Structure 1
């Protein structure tokens, strides 16, 4: 029998042959024609295989993935990114980071192949050129967006290279759209991959999954985490459907490990921990990829601009949450300047041999949770009283702060939540802070 799928495949072959013939007839257009032929053939064949994956119903009771993200022997650890991201990154990031084992040199990571964990369509690809503070190119970083069924989308981010055959199938870089600069390009496509196919290579990459059937996580200001695809398309002179393909509903982000096959999920979950495999994740929900923005409390992301959108690429904010690895340790993640947190509060003065530049720290601070009014978990700061945090250190192993942090959640006359934070160096412990606890006028005001 000669079915419709066979007919479509034949049509794809005939069309591809015709395009190759055109390339021979008009050699000057050869490269572009060949790239276009591959893109059209890939699109036609994926449709021959039952139509786009986004139109397929997800299997009930079956894991969304049927294979791994990479060779697990290359994986040292998996970092649950949680709601607190590295400074300068988009907030929040409820995803996971796959960290590879050591390479041949000190502090070098092993390169591994990123594999398709399921039969899926690549629906969009992004390429960014990373640069150092001096503007020098460090190399490309690729993001590949997938759709495996009607309700499941996922992506791989920070791939060092994308597989050449995939790039050829979508038409090459000529087919990409620039987003205001050649440093950021993208393409909307439909390219079918099967479980185990090589997507690219990297010395570590991020995995994000969105389950559209999941209940959205409660957010204090959900509009901050939405991106208007049509508005962004107008700004970047790009097609709205391209922008829609690369936008994500972070309120439905879930732990990608939970969607792995049952016989491999545990072995991947056992690798949850910090980036160098020193600390292992604690607690029942060790992946901890749910958003931490808890309405009515201090926990979550706060912005220095009342109108700021968390979907932008540069964020001036602070994120308050439990550590993704150890929930008994709390984190102040600084995505912008906290004016009162000066260098001398974390490091000795230069006169004592300190060579740290005089600039506001923009990393993260950590401390052990307490109770009462001192070191109270952020999720329990649900009134308007001032709270104090002590024995705060830079990152996890850096120096202790020479002072305390005072924090107070408030509401303005319009009912909008505010958060005031000040680092104070006039005392080194909260019990030495004069009652009633207050600010000196050097506090920073944050908004939900």
Structure 2
């Protein structure tokens, strides 16, 4: 053990002994002194993990995220962004097997996959459409060495012992509302320790020593997530502890030992285990914001810095499960894609507009028709046909034109227009042009 670690342990021993000695001298405060001594000992297990160098040639993680028998599949997240969700990044979701009821997931234990420090905990109160609280959701942030951090998100219940060591809810600071709170901690956990229980949870890992991802607008992904939030009581160190840098996001499975990697990679697929992930880079397929191309996230506002909790954006990307299937995730932000272009029955209450607000999928083609978004060059106009609502929905009655270009202010622009006057790209008169009904998006 290093001299620094010995010194910290020795100091902890002296302070703990002093606290217990004080408890003997002043019996009326004994219980409080004992509690403080126990809490300090729990937090002072050697030097912080953030000060320790990551072992060269050894995996940063050494254990499973959850009992493997409870896990149905592991879904790559972020490639097809839903309104208000995180920008594309190679995070994963642990999907548990079916519970006792239909469409119910079984609860499983979220386990620490490494010896690490829990450096922060967030708590959100979930509410239904009527504003009624439906339960808490926890995010736990870990540091396993100087360069490697990871987190678990959407934990349903945090372990009682961890919450107690964090000081209980009274130690949490509010982020503008009691529905969103956080606390900075240093709680040492070992491989296999129970962090909490959940019927599925997300795993994100960041490696600061890795080469940052080559993104078109990396500053959008390196922002303080609370830059626009009302943070009244939270200290800056807490905000820093829960702020992540997506440019350094990596697939957590790649940081497991080889035998564990094989087991977890075999589970990569959709949320119900129907489709298995394809391609050599299945876990990383979600990181899609490509410089010099149309692939990635585009914003409805040129000034949007992605710091707001609701991200007003679209995403053009490969499907995170099957990279040969491409996705327009438009979220209703394309006015020219009208309800009557979706071949749904014209019955009262039909969800045609809802389908148009979700995403369209298609199979990649050649040349300027159904061109992969990563191959879209500046100024050329491309056409997309045989588009389908979601993966198994009806075909779109029309085509979509797309053009990427650089605007006068230096920002990249993306023009998109849905056309219902033709059913195939070959029927469009050359050269392909917009009619003035296009929507402009920005990097």
Structure 2 residue 428 is the aligned partner of structure 1 residue 424: no
Contact 2:365–2:372 under 8 Å retained in 1: yes
Aligned to 2:337: 341
Residue 322 in structure 1 maps to residue 318 in structure 2: yes
TM-score (norm 1): 0.90
Q: Which residue of 1 aligns with 2:428?
A: 433
Aligned-residue CA RMSD (Å): 2.6
Q: How many residues align?
A: 437
1:404 paired to 2:399: yes
Following superposition, the deviation at residue 160 of structure 1 comes to: 0.7
1:227 counterpart (223, 226, 238): 223
1:260 shift after superposition: 0.9
Q: 1:275 to 1:161 in 2, by over 3 A?
A: same
Which residues of 2 match residues 165-180 of structure 1 at below 5 A?
165-180=161-176
> CA 1:368/1:23 → structure 2, altered by over 3 Å: closer, same or farther?
farther
Question: CA contact under 8 A between 1:76 and 1:271: conserved in structure 2?
Answer: yes
> Over residues 151-200 of structure 1, what are the superposed CA-to-partner deviations in whole Å (9 max), with x where a residue is unaligned?
10000001111111111110111111111111111111111111000001
Q: Which residue of 2 aligns with 1:257?
A: 253
Q: Deviations over 1:282-308 (max 9, x none)?
A: 111121256211111101110011111
Q: Does residue 12 of the first structure (1) align with residue 7 of the second (2)?
A: no
Distance in 1 separating the partners of 2:408 and 2:15: 66
- Preserved CA contact (<8 Å) 2:355 2:389: no
- Say whether residues 1:247 and 2:258 are aligned partners: no
Contact 1:251 1:291 in 2 (8 A): no
Question: Secondary structure, in 3 states, of the residue corresponding to 2:177?
Answer: coil
Unaligned runs of 5+ in 2: 1-5
Q: 1:396 to 1:290 in 2, by over 3 A?
A: closer
Residue 397 of structure 1, CA deviation: 1.4
Distance 1:393 1:184, change over 3 A: same
SS in 1 for 2:320: coil
Structure 2 distance, partners of 1:395, 1:22, is: 69
SS of 1:267's equivalent?
helix
Distance 1:116 1:344, change over 3 A: same
Residue matched to 2:207: 211
Which of 45, 64, 72 is the matching residue for 1:68?
64
1:102 maps to which residue? Answer: 98
Name the structure 1 match of 2:276: 280
**2:327 matched residue in structure 1:** 331
CA shift, 1:218, in A, is 0.9
Counterpart position of 1:154: 150
Give the corresponding residue for 2:115.
119
**Cα deviation, residue 434, structure 1:** 2.8
- CA, structure 1 residues 191+315, in 2 after alignment: closer, same or farther (shift >3 Å)? same
Stretch moving more, 127-136 or 56-65: 127-136
Instruction: Confirm or deny: 8 A CA contact 2:123 2:138 kept in the other structure.
Output: yes
Contact 1:12 1:45 in 2 (8 A): no
Alpha-carbon distance, 1:338 to partner: 2.0
1:271 to 267, 271, 287: 267
Q: Is contact 2:269-2:321 (8 Å) kept?
A: yes
Give structure 1 stretches of 5+ with no counterpart: none
SS in 2 for 1:243: helix
Aligned to 1:190: 186
> Pairwise mapping of residues 318-397 of structure 1 onto structure 2 (< 5 A)?
318-335=314-331, 337-348=333-344, 350=346, 352=347, 355-356=350-351, 358=353, 361-397=356-392
TM-score, normalisation: structure 2: 0.91
Contact 1:67 1:196 in 2 (8 A): yes
1:284-299 paired onto structure 2 within 5 Å: 284-288=280-284, 291-299=287-295
In the aligned structure 2, how far is the partner of 1:23 from the partner of 1:179?
A: 38
CA distance in 1, matches of 2:21, 2:198: 35
Query: Is the deviation greater in 334-343 or in 64-73?
Result: 334-343
SS at match of 2:431: coil
